[in-house]
Structure 1
Amino acid sequence: MLTDIGDVMRQCYAKGWITSRDGNLSLFKEGGKHLYITPSGIKKTLLQPEQLVKLETAMDPETLQRRLWISDHQKPSGEILMHWNIQCNTPGTRAVLHVHATHIVAAMYRGFDLPQLCMNFGEIFRLTRVGPSVPVLPALTREFADATADCLGVHADGSLEYDVVGQTNHGVCAVGADPWAAYEHIERLDHVCEIVLKSGVSPGVEVFEAVMR
């Protein structure tokens, strides 16, 4: 599964969702004690499993919360706060993927409400739960990390209400049981956004209404 991380990032690059050093992906394995995450600034097109940052986690006896330990020499992705917000209480294996998927970001710039947009497409809402978009916030901040977790509907027990959320004027974050599952959530949403953008439909206009005009 660690090999999948590099494969997914290369596919994201091939799709045009990231430039060579953009994007990040983390993986926590069920029953494990480590969070694996892409390093900061590395070329994702060349990423190999041995280059992943392996971060130790442990249960805090006072708070009974899982904590993350980062050594001075370790350089995880700058979005580590966002990843840990989503990963810290996961009940099983979980992958978190963040990229700048072109059509998703473009649709948000156009003013589309992503959950509403997807209700017209059965191929996505049957398989992917699209949550409310994260508002415009500075990347790499606690506010951005907290807002992403809130929009995904992360509960105290680690369960989620949604699989993917847009991050307005920035990118998208998806969660899956493995790296490819997270990737597929973004792929479905990006495909739907591409269709709508190319159709010329305006935000707030139902697809059926546009066809009848």
Structure 2
Amino acid sequence: MSDARLREEICRYGRSLFERGLTPGSSGNISLRLEDGGWLVTPTNASLGFLDPARISRLDAEGRLLSGDKPTKEIPLHTALYDTRGSARAIVHLHSTHAVALTMLPEVDPRAALPPMTPYYLMRAGETALVPYYRPGDPDVADAIRGLAGKYSSVLLANHGPVVAGDSLEAAVFATEELEETAKLYLLLRNLNPRFLSPAQVADLVKTFGLDLPSHHDHDHDGD
């Protein structure tokens, strides 16, 4: 896909996320890793609903700005996820309401922020890690992401929001949306003793779809 088409794709998905209230104001950012190791990434203080393809930041493999506007300050978390998830080709970071709310609950397990509620949550987002709070743009968040050793394609930043990797921009967007909807389900059902997928049902999904779940690393996997 051409550079121009990739830029248009970032704008199209960004506008879709914005128009559905998943990334208010100038929050959130999107990046795409290119064949030469460089990136396309949304600029700092840019609304995902009103992106200009020509102003999207183009970085080289070392993270130096080649063209476009100044990139998002969240470059460290994108870098860390790309470095540890070899299959990652795109990353979406949002401030979506239900996912952020989930990070503030005391019972959330950092190794599995959400229980196995639906098959599509596991199939698209996998299991989700929760990392402690860091101020936006803090380079220390990269160490927290690297500490997950690439086991998770979806991560929640405490009091901040989700950051999700995919093998394409479409996959990363769909996984982020699935994560947000699952967080919403969890909040709706909290304290109501809902029925989650059983270990056997999860194992069946892992076997059937080759899911790469941190809790099932003794199985053979195929990608994210």
Q: 2:30 — aligned with what? A: 25
Return the TM-score normalized by structure 2: 0.74
Return the TM-score normalized by structure 1: 0.77
Q: 1:192 — aligned with what? A: 182
Q: List per-residue Cα deviations over 1:134-172 (Å, max 9, x = no partner).
A: 111222011122213433x33xxxxxx222111111111
Cα pair 2:17 2:49 within 8 Å, conserved: no
Q: 1:113 — aligned with what? A: 109
Change (3 A) 1:55 1:117: closer
- The higher relative CO (CA closer than 8 Å, separation ≥ 6) is in 1
Q: 2:77 — aligned with what? A: 82
Displacement, 1:35? 1.0
Listed as ranges, the matches of 1:31-46 within 5 Å are 31-46=35-50
Once superposed, which parts of structure 1, at least 4 consecutive aligned residues long, lie more than 4 Å away?
71-74, 88-93
SS of the equivalent of 1:110 reads coil
Distance 2:156 2:128 in 1: 8
Listed as ranges, the matches of 1:1-213 within 5 Å are 1-29=6-34, 31-57=35-61, 67-70=62-65, 75-88=70-83, 91=86, 94-111=89-106, 112-113=108-109, 115=112, 117-151=114-148, 153-154=149-150, 161-199=151-189, 201-202=190-191, 207-208=194-195
Say how many residue pairs are matched. 189
Cα pair 1:36 1:55 within 8 Å, conserved: yes
**RMSD over aligned Cα atoms:** 2.6
Change (3 A) 1:36 1:138: same
Displacement, 1:11? 1.8
Code of the residue aligned with 2:182 in structure 1: it is V
Code of the residue aligned with 1:24 in structure 2: it is N
Code of the residue aligned with 2:118 in structure 1: it is F
Distance 1:44 1:116 in 2: 26
Where structure 2 has 5 or more consecutive residues not aligned to the other structure, the ranges are 1-5, 197-224
Q: Select between 33-42 and 67-76 the one with higher mean Cα deviation.
A: 67-76
Using the aligned pairs only, state the percent identity: 23
SS of the equivalent of 1:188 reads helix
Code of the residue aligned with 1:137 in structure 2: it is Y
Change (3 A) 1:131 1:89: closer
Distance 2:104 2:158 in 1: 7
Displacement, 1:55? 1.0
Distance 2:48 2:56 in 1: 11
Distance 1:206 1:32 in 2: 49
